[in-house]
Amino acid sequence: MKNIFYHVVTEKPMEINQEMIFDELRHNFIYKKIDKYRGKVKRVYEKKLKLTDDEELKKALREYALEEVREKEFPNYPSRLASLHVSRTLDEAMVWYDLYISQGKKTYQIVKIETDGKVFTGDAWNVFDGTDNKEENLSLARNYWTNGKNSVNEEPIYETLVDGKIKVIEIVKENLRLM
């Protein structure tokens, strides 16, 4: 059965019938951004490298903790490193659109997609900055995957992850804002 979702396009415009596949061999831009930090993450945990204000290293610490918990405890969920971030409804997609605009990101389209892959919906407030404490990162990762209470006491902002074969079936909005 195919599931339908909405995706805010920020990297480059997409086309109807465009397909992509995310799986253990095909990763997304998050993986590509943090893969180069793998050695630094290990050195931070070994206390051989001090964690500074390096935002990308903090993201890598977070994403590797999220992936470790997912692999061990929630293997039926899609990986954040090999999935597309989507929304369940157009209204949820518009929340992300507004957020991306406020961050100054190029925002090309909102597209409707279909997939038969794995799906996970979580609260984006539970995405955290990684620390130099691995156990703390793993605990925060577990809270993310179990949809625990967010630490900001806000209504959830839902982010849905999908993997597998993904196909664009409609361009819902186009040329929303190009920076």
Can you give the CATH number for the domain in which 19 is found? 3.20.170.10
**What is the residue-averaged pLDDT of the chain?**
93
Q: Per residue in 97-111, pLDDT tens?
A: 888 888 888 889 999
- Give the Cα separation of 62 and 84 in Å (integer): 18
- Give the Cα separation of 155 and 41 in Å (integer): 32
Q: What is the pLDDT of residue 138?
A: 98
Q: Per residue in 122-132, pLDDT tens?
A: 999 999 999 99
Arithmetic mean of pLDDT, 28-39? 92
42 backbone φψ class: left, alpha, beta (φ>0; ψ -120 to 50)? alpha
Asked if residue 104 lies in contact with residue 9, where contact means CB atoms within 8 angstroms, the answer is no
Q: Name the domain count of the chain.
A: 1
Q: Which two tokens stand for residue 16?
A: 């109807």
Domain that holds residue 46: 3-177
Q: Per residue in 151-164, pLDDT tens?
A: 899 889 999 999 99
Residue 177, pLDDT > 70, answer no
